[in-house]
Structure 1
Amino acid sequence: MSESLKAKLRYASTAPSNEQIEKIKAVLKKKFNTDDIEIDVYEDPSIGGGFVVSCKNFEYDWSDAGRAKQLRAELNNLSKKNGDRETGKIISMLSSKVENFELAIEDREVGTVTWVGDGIANIDGIEHAFYGEIIEFEDGTRGMAQDIRDDHIGCILFGNDTGIRQGTRAVRTYKEAGIPVGEAFIGRVVDALGAPIDGLGDIKESGYRAVEEPAPGIIERQSVNEPMETGILSIDTMFPIGRGQRELIIGDRQTGKTSIAIDTIINQKGKDVICIYVAIGQKASTVAKIIQTLKKSGAMNYSIVVSSTASDMAPLQYIAPYSGTALAEYFMHQGKDVLIVYDDLSKHAVAYRALSLLLERSPGREAYPGDVFYLHSRLLERSSKLSSELGGGSITALPIIETLGGDVSAYIPTNVISITDGQIFLESDLFFAGMRPAVNVGLSVSRVGSAAQTKAMKKAAGSIRVDLAQYREMAVFTQFSSDLDETTKNQLRHGDVLMELLKQPLEHPLAMHEQVIILVAVGAGRLDMIPVKKVRAYKEKLLTFFNTEHSDICEELQKSGDLSEQLKKRILDCVDEFNDAENKLLKEEIEKSHGNN
C-alpha cells in the first residue's frame, strides 16, 4: 500500500473548519491525482489571516499577506501603464481594481535555497522551472533559472544577495526574463534590467519583451541593400556596412575600436536610425565619458545607453547585451532601423565563464562549440533586415572584440568572426604610426560589400583597395632604393596621398557626398602634387569650397545617390577651379615674401 500524501496547512489565528479542510483536500486530490491525503494543521501568525497550504513543492496561498502582495503588484502595473493620466482617473481606476480584485489561487511551485554567493543561488524543490524563467525570493529579489539539473536548479540573481540565506523560500513566477521597452527609452541611460540610472526619473514603458527571443527565420528576412554609413572614409569605401549587417570591430586594447562605433552613432544624425550602445564590463568613468561625447554631438537625442559596468555582478554583465537587443527588436518590429554596439563581447564571455564556474560547470566547457559560441551566435543572429511584409525594419550590429597581441586566431575572436558578416581589424602598429583609424586593409573585409553602397560611392571608390595594396607592396620593395623610375615615384606619391586622406580625426564623420568628392578628386590624380603634410588641410578647404560655393553638386549627389559621367566632370572642373585659386594664392604669398625681403 502506497504512503499517503502529506500536506501542511498554516493558519493565522482561526483554525479552518472541517468543511474547509475537505474542500482543500478535493483541490489537492485533483492536482496530485490521489485519494489518500493527510493535512497537518499549524498556527502561523506571520501570514496575517486566512491560510497557506503546502504539498510536495507546490503552494496554495489564501492568506491576507498573499492577497496584499497580489493586489500591490496589480496596482503597481496599473499606475505604470497610466503614469501620465489625470489623478482623478487614476484614483477611480485603482478603486475599481480594489473592488473587483479576485485572489488568484493557482498553485505555485516553491523551493528553498541550499547555497548562495557571488550572484548565484542553488534552489532545491523546484522541479518544473524552464530555462530563462524568473524566480522570486522572499525579500523581493529576482533571479533567472540558468542551470537546470536533476537535483536542483542554479539561478543567477538580478539584485543584491544580502537578503537571501540558506533556507530562504523561492517561488516560480512562470514568466520569462524580460525588460520593459518603449519610445520613452530614447535619450536615456538604463541598467541591464531596463531601470533608469541617469537620475532623470522613471521611464514609462510601452510593453515588455523577453531578453532572449528566437532569431528571425530565413523567410522573414530580406537581403541587405541599404547603406549604414559610418562617416569614416576608409570603412565606407572599402568595407561598407549595410542596414541589417553584423560587422565585427576587432583589435588590441587602445587601438580605437570604441571610437569607430561612437563616430558611426554620431554619423546617424538625421538619418532616422535609433542607436543603442551596450557597455559590458566597462569602467563607470569610461561610460560617463562616452555619454558626454554623445550629448555634446546631439547623438543622445536618438540613442539609448544600456550600461553594466565592471562593478556590476556577473549576471548583470551577462544579461546586458540581450536586454539591449530586446530594446532594438521593439523598434525593428515597428519598421525602424536600429544600430546596436556591443562593447565588448570579450568581457561578456568572461562574465559568462565566471557564471559557468559558479554554477559548477566544467572549467573546460567553454571550448565546446555549443557553449560560448552559442552564447554569441544566439545574440548576433537576432540582427537582420526584416522582409517588407514584416515592416522592413532592421538591426545592424557592431560587436567589439579585444584581441591579445593581435591574435585573431584565438578562440573567441574566431567564434565571432565566423558568426558576423565581416570584420574591421585595427592594428596596433598602424595606430602608433599615426594611421588613425588604424584599419588593416588586408585582414578587414565586408561580406556584404558593394550591395550596401550607393551607386555614387561604388563608382567613386573604384580601385582604391587595389591601389593601397600595390602601394604597400611597392613601399616595402623600394624603401632602400634611391634610383627610382618616374612611374614608380608617381605610384608611391599617389599612395602617400591616399594614406594621408584616410586619416580622420575623432568625432568628424564625413557625409556621403563629401566622401565621393574626395574619392573622385584623388582617383583622377588631382591631389598627387600636394605635399603629404598639407593633404589634410587641403581636404578641409576643398570640402568647405564645395559645401559653400557648389552646394548644387552636393545636393545632387545626396538626392540621386548616383555619379554620372557628367556629374563626375563637373566635380573635377570644380576641383581644378579650386586648385587654380589655391595656386594663385600661393604665388601671391611667395611674391609678397620676396618683396618684404
Structure 2
Amino acid sequence: MPDSALPDMASYRFGLRLTERGCVLGVGDGIAWIKGLPSAQMDEVLHFDDGSSGLVFQLGSDRLGAILLSQTHGLTAGMEVRRTGRRIEIGVGDALLGRVVDPMGAPLDGLPAPQAREMRPLETEAPTILERDYVSQPLYTGNKIVDTLIPIGKGQRQLIIGDDGVGKSALALDVVLNQRGRGVFCVVVLIGQTRTSVAATVETLRAGGALDYSVVVVAEANALPGFRYLAPFAGCAIAEHWMRTGRDALAVYDDLTRHAQSYRELSLLLQRPPGREAYPSDIFYLHSRLLERSAALAAGSGGGSMTALPIVETRLGEIAAYIPTNLISITDGQIYFDSHLFAAGVLPAIDIGRSVSRIGGKAQDAAIKQAAARIRLDYLQFLELELFARFGTRLEAGVEEKLRRGRLLRELLKQDRLAPLPEQAHLAWLLAYGEDLLDRFAPEQAAARLPPLFAAVAARGLRIDAPREDWLAALRDALWEAA
C-alpha cells in the first residue's frame, strides 16, 4: 500500500464513538420503513448494509420512511441501516455538457462518469429579493408566435401547457436548439418517459448540435418513483450552478404532471393524508420551491440567469384542473396549446388568446416590440370576425379586408417544428406584414415567399437595431427580385 493511502496516525485520537443503527421493517414499491435512527433528518441520505441507499422522506414517532435511491436484490427486512449525516448532491459544471445522466449524476450514455469538480445539493433556497434583478434580456425561442406575441425574458418562468401530443415538447426542443451560439447552457429534464422517447429526444439534440451546450437528466418511466421525484431538482441544481457563476441557463422540465403523480405515489405509499385528487396538501409547495429558484440575478450576485420552461399536461383542454392551476399561479405566464388548432393543421397549435407573458414584453427588443404592437389585437379580432362570418351574412368591405389580412397573418404564423428562426427573420416578416408588402399575394403564396425573404435579409447582414428605412428598402428589393 502506498504511503499516501495510509491513515494519518498523528491525527488519530482514541475515544468513545457513538453511532446510530436502524433496522429495516419492510421494503416495497421503492419505499423502505425503518425503525431506529432517532436523530435522522429530512432529506438525509441513508446507507443499507447491502449497498443500497435511501433518502429520509417521512418522520414518524416510532419509524421513518425512506425513498430508495438504489436497491439491490438483497435488501430485505431486518437489515441494518446507517446515517450518513449528509444531504443528496449532484456533480455540476461544464464537465456535464453533452452528457445524459440520471438524477444522481450517474451516466446513462455508456460513457465514463463525468469528472465534476463541484458538488451541489439538489435542494437549496431560492435567491432572495435583494439578489434578484429585473428581467430585461430577451430569450429568443426561434418561434414566430412566442418571440413576437408571447416573448420570454432571461430569468422568466414560462409554463407550456396543453393536451398530450399537441407539440409542447417540440416547442421546448426548438427553444433549446435556438440557443446555439448564444451562450445559454441548457438542461433538459425528462420525467417518466419511455426509453424510446428519451432516445428520440437525445438524438434530436445531437443532430441539431445542441448537446454541445446541454445536459439531459433522465428518470425513465420504469425508474424508482424516488428518481422521478428527484429529477427536476437535479436538473435545477445543474442549471443553478451556471446561474450562480454569472452565466445564463435554461431548464426544461418535461413534464411536471408526471412529477406530481410521482410525488402523489410516494406520499400515498408513505401514508400521508391525501387531499384534492389524492394529492398531498403540500403539492403547491413542491413546485413553487422548484420554480422559484429561477431568476435573473443582480450584478452584485453574479448577474447570471436561469429561465424555466415547465411543461404540464391537460386533459380535454381542462386548463382549470388542479395541477395546471397551481403551476399557472406560480409561473410568469403560459403558452397554451389547443388540440382543436392542432387537428385543424394550424401549427404550432398555440392559442394566442389564452397565452400570455407577464414579463417578456419588458425584455423584448424595441424594434420587434414596435413592429408587433398591434398584431395580437388584430389577430384576436380576426378570430371573432371569422366566427361571425360563418353564419353567411353579408359583410362590409372593411370587415372583408380585416378577414383577408387575418387569414394572411394566420398563414405567416405557421412554422414547422425543429426549424427555429433568428430574431432578424422575425423582424423581417413583421415589417413585411405591417407595411402591407405581402398584400398582393394569396396567404399561401405569401407564406412561401418568407424563406427567400429571410435569406435575402441574412445575406445583407442587417442588424436588429438597424434603421427602419434600411429594413424596408431591403424587404422591398427582396420581394421585387423574388417576383
> Structure 2 length as normaliser, TM-score?
0.96
Is the CA contact 2:264–2:280 (under 8 Å) kept in the aligned structure 1? no
Distance in 2 (CA, whole Å) between partners of 1:214 and 1:285 is 35
Tell me the amino acid that sits aligned with residue 479 of structure 1.
R
Partner of 2:376: 465
| 1:355 is aligned to 2:266 | yes
| 1:533 is aligned to 2:444 | yes
Q: Which secondary structure state, in structure 2, belongs to the residue aligned with residue 292 of structure 1?
A: helix
Is the CA contact 2:272–2:280 (under 8 Å) kept in the aligned structure 1? no
Q: Which secondary structure state, in structure 1, belongs to the residue aligned with residue 410 of structure 2?
A: helix
Q: How big is each residue's C-alpha offset from its partner over 1:228-247, in whole Å with a ceiling of 9 and x where there is no partner? A: 11010100111111111000
Q: Which secondary structure state, in structure 2, belongs to the residue aligned with residue 213 of structure 1?
A: coil
Structure 1 residue 389 displacement after superposition: 0.7
Structure 1 residue 366 displacement after superposition: 6.6
Distance in 2 (CA, whole Å) between partners of 1:360 and 1:330 is 35
Structure 2 unmatched ranges of 5 or more: none
Is the CA contact 2:153–2:359 (under 8 Å) kept in the aligned structure 1? yes
Partner of 1:393: 304
Match 1:284 to one of 182, 187, 195: 195
Greater Cα shift, 317-326 or 449-458:
449-458
Partner of 1:301: 212
Q: How does 1:14-413 map to 2 (within 5 A)?
A: 95-100=3-8, 106-364=17-275, 370-413=281-324
Match 1:574 to one of 474, 479, 483: 474
Q: How big is each residue's C-alpha offset from its partner over 1:568-589, in whole Å with a ceiling of 9 and x where there is no partner? A: 2222222222333333xxxxxx
Distance in 1 (CA, whole Å) between partners of 2:17 and 2:183 is 46
Tell me the amino acid that sits aligned with residue 399 of structure 2.
T
Distance in 2 (CA, whole Å) between partners of 1:582 and 1:172 is 72
Structure 1 residue 163 displacement after superposition: 1.9
Tell me the amino acid that sits aligned with residue 290 of structure 2.
L
Structure 1 residue 248 displacement after superposition: 0.2
The number of equivalent residue pairs is: 480
Distance in 1 (CA, whole Å) between partners of 2:19 and 2:276 is 34
Structure 1 residue 430 displacement after superposition: 0.5
Q: How big is each residue's C-alpha offset from its partner over 1:147-173, in whole Å with a ceiling of 9 and x where there is no partner? A: 011111100000125221111100010
Structure 1 residue 490 displacement after superposition: 1.7
- In structure 2, relative to structure 1, the CA distance for the partners of 1:95 and 1:435 (3 Å cut) is farther
Q: Which secondary structure state, in structure 1, belongs to the residue aligned with residue 34 of structure 2?
A: strand
Tell me the amino acid that sits aligned with residue 324 of structure 1.
G
Q: How big is each residue's C-alpha offset from its partner over 1:268-301, in whole Å with a ceiling of 9 and x where there is no partner? A: 0000000000000011110110111111110000
| 1:501 is aligned to 2:412 | yes
Distance in 1 (CA, whole Å) between partners of 2:107 and 2:148 is 38
Partner of 1:543: 454
Partner of 1:67: none
Structure 1 residue 180 displacement after superposition: 1.8
- In structure 2, relative to structure 1, the CA distance for the partners of 1:530 and 1:133 (3 Å cut) is same
Higher relative contact order (CA 8 A, sep 6+): 2
Q: Which secondary structure state, in structure 2, belongs to the residue aligned with residue 438 of structure 1?
A: coil
Distance in 2 (CA, whole Å) between partners of 1:180 and 1:135 is 19
Structure 1 residue 457 displacement after superposition: 1.4
Q: Which secondary structure state, in structure 1, belongs to the residue aligned with residue 335 of structure 2?
A: strand
Distance in 2 (CA, whole Å) between partners of 1:449 and 1:305 is 26
Structure 1 residue 305 displacement after superposition: 0.1
Q: Which secondary structure state, in structure 2, belongs to the residue aligned with residue 363 of structure 1?
A: coil
Tell me the amino acid that sits aligned with residue 295 of structure 2.
S
Is the CA contact 1:119–1:161 (under 8 Å) kept in the aligned structure 2? no
Tell me the amino acid that sits aligned with residue 545 of structure 1.
A
Distance in 2 (CA, whole Å) between partners of 1:367 and 1:221 is 36
Structure 1 unmatched ranges of 5 or more: 1-90, 584-597
Structure 1 residue 346 displacement after superposition: 0.3
Q: Which secondary structure state, in structure 1, belongs to the residue aligned with residue 70 of structure 2?
A: coil
> Structure 1 length as normaliser, TM-score?
0.78
Structure of higher CA gyration radius: 1
Structure 1 residue 369 displacement after superposition: 7.9
Distance in 1 (CA, whole Å) between partners of 2:412 and 2:331 is 28
Is the CA contact 2:274–2:280 (under 8 Å) kept in the aligned structure 1? no
Tell me the amino acid that sits aligned with residue 231 of structure 2.
A
Is the CA contact 2:267–2:280 (under 8 Å) kept in the aligned structure 1? no
Q: Which secondary structure state, in structure 2, belongs to the residue aligned with residue 111 of structure 1?
A: strand
Is the CA contact 2:264–2:279 (under 8 Å) kept in the aligned structure 1? no
Q: How big is each residue's C-alpha offset from its partner over 1:51-82, in whole Å with a ceiling of 9 and x where there is no partner? A: xxxxxxxxxxxxxxxxxxxxxxxxxxxxxxxx
Is the CA contact 1:112–1:170 (under 8 Å) kept in the aligned structure 2? yes
Is the CA contact 1:227–1:241 (under 8 Å) kept in the aligned structure 2? yes
Distance in 2 (CA, whole Å) between partners of 1:365 and 1:533 is 48
Greater Cα shift, 215-224 or 523-532:
523-532
| 1:416 is aligned to 2:307 | no
Match 1:447 to one of 348, 358, 381: 358
Structure 1 residue 497 displacement after superposition: 1.1
Structure 1 residue 426 displacement after superposition: 0.3
Tell me the amino acid that sits aligned with residue 568 of structure 1.
R
Tell me the amino acid that sits aligned with residue 437 of structure 1.
P
Q: Identity of paired residues, percent?
A: 43
